[in-house]
């Protein structure tokens, strides 16, 4: 995953900036009105909040979490039913208190591989709160990707005083790729003269 983040960053630096600089020089030398392209928000300013907005049909709710006293089997069923790879774990009786996270990997490595019963409690195998990596909604998408890559994780809860969502490495990469595709399309339109 770290390779993907580094490749995207390198692509941005080696392609986008020189092209935009050349376009800027061209527009200044030709006395052409500057394109809106020059003032577009770049990837360096894209936040986790924007990643959350791109996730289709996902809202904070019961699919996002389980309780530490739930069985791992029920947690795994919930992840499979909702096609997600992790659940935030909350303290029983206090749905504002995050005590950890459980992932598909936790289930496979700590239950299936160790032949533990399916009625094992989530609290026994989860990654606890003191080891939990989180981001806020105003965290830069590249910083979130770097955190996930450096910690060898694929999911991070988004916490703004309370849980507001969850993003995965795939969500972040999808946002970056979509935004870069949009920038390339705008550059092509500019080169073809569609901004005049």
Element (H, E) at 152: none
> What value does the mean pLDDT take over residues 164-181?
86
Give the side-chain half-sphere CA count within 13 A for 62: 5
115 pLDDT more than 60: yes
**Residue in 94, 96, 93 with CA at minimum distance from that of residue 60:** 96
61 alpha carbon, distance to own chain's centre: 18
Residue 40 has pLDDT above 70, yes or no: no
pTM comes to: 0.67
Give the model's pLDDT for residue 190. Answer: 77
> Rounded distance, CA 129 to CA 14, Å?
39
pLDDT band at 120 (very low <50, low <70, confident <90, very high): very high
What the chain holds in terms of domains, given with CATH numbers, is 2-46+174-191 (no CATH), 49-168 (3.10.580.10)
């Amino acid at each position: 995953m770290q390779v993907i983040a580094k490749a995207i960053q390198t692509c941005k630096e080696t392609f986008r900036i020189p092209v935009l600089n050349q376009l800027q020089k061209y527009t200044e030398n030709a006395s052409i009105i500057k394109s809106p392209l020059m003032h577009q928000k770049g990837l360096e300013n894209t936040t986790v909040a924007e990643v959350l907005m791109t996730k289709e049909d996902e809202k904070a709710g019961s699919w996002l979490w389980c309780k530490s006293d739930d069985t791992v089997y029920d947690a795994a069923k919930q992840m499979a039913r909702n096609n997600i790879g992790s659940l935030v774990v909350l303290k029983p009786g206090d749905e504002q208190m995050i005590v950890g996270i459980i992932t598909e990997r936790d289930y496979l490595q700590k239950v299936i591989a160790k032949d533990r019963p399916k009625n094992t409690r989530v609290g026994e195998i989860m990654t606890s709160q003191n080891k939990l990596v989180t981001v806020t909604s105003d965290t830069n998408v590249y910083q979130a990707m770097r955190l996930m890559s450096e910690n060898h994780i694929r999911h991070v809860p988004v916490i703004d005083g309370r849980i507001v969502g969850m993003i995965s490495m795939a969500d972040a990469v999808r946002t970056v790729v979509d935004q870069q595709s949009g920038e390339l399309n705008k550059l092509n339109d500019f080169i073809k003269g569609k901004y005049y």
